[in-house]
Chain A
């Protein structure tokens, strides 16, 4: 079973539309961490956010916001008023545990295209 599921393989939106990227994770650990990374066409993975399992507070950073819901094991990412520069592949990731041997899982990614 996938530890991190990003059901949306590809999304296209018109510039200025809002878009939500879904992420569902699976873990039995009580301590875990969730991440979002952006990978633009240049290839570099850019860190966006890290959230620990004890902090369910939603977060907003400019046009970006994240909705963490442990009840549904989801950590969704919303871009408000999308821009062409938001076009990229977005990866959700899960890290379980809190020692050097812990596991890290990427989702399969969602490719977002923002059409001008």
Chain B
């Protein structure tokens, strides 16, 4: 049974064309995270929501935005994708904070042409 679902699994966009990645969860967890992972690197946290409270990492570019309309869904918007934004984007959830286990979705691999 899927617990953290990400759609689409692969996304191709054009340079500068806005793109939205989606994540949903069936765990009813309070916290949802978005990570960016480039080849051969560890995942890098972009931001997270604790319930409705948005927490941006200091070095996350303004080009990246997020929305969480309800407990189950969270979206990652990339307003003007650049070639450097091509990466795997991972969504994760945890029951409360980051000391709890994070459960990850399968990821969306973004390609920017």
Contact = CB atoms under 8 A, between A and B. Distances in A.
Answer whether A and B are interacting partners: yes
A61 interface: no
Contacts of A45: 43, 90, 92, 104
**Interface residues of A: mostly helix, strand, loop or mixed?**
loop
Interface residues of B, number: 22
Interface in A10-59: 32-33, 35, 37, 42-47, 50
A47 B102 contact: yes
Contact of B41 (A33, A100, A108): A108
A50 B50 CA distance: 21
A109 B43 CA distance: 10
Nearest to A48: B101
A35 B45 contact: no
B21 interface: no
Nearest to B105: A44
Size category of the binding interface on chain A: 20 to 34
Nearest to A111: B40
B106 A43 contact: yes
B88 interface: yes
Given A43-B106, A43-B109, A44-B107, A104 B98 contact: yes
A66 B103 CA distance: 20
A75 interface: no
30 contacts: A33-B99, A35-B101, A37-B104, A42-B106, A43-B88, A43-B106, A43-B107, A44-B105, A45-B92, A45-B104, A46-B104, A47-B102, A47-B103, A47-B104, A50-B101, A91-B42, A91-B43, A95-B98, A95-B99, A98-B97, A98-B99, A99-B97, A100-B96, A102-B97, A102-B98, A103-B98, A108-B41, A109-B40, A109-B41, A109-B42
Interface of A: 32-33, 35, 37, 42-47, 50, 91, 95, 97-100, 102-104, 106-109
Interface of B: 31, 40-43, 45, 50, 88, 90, 92, 96-99, 101-107, 109
Chain A to chain B: the 6 pairs with minimum beta-carbon distance, closest first: A106-B42, A45-B104, A104-B98, A44-B106, A43-B107, A95-B99
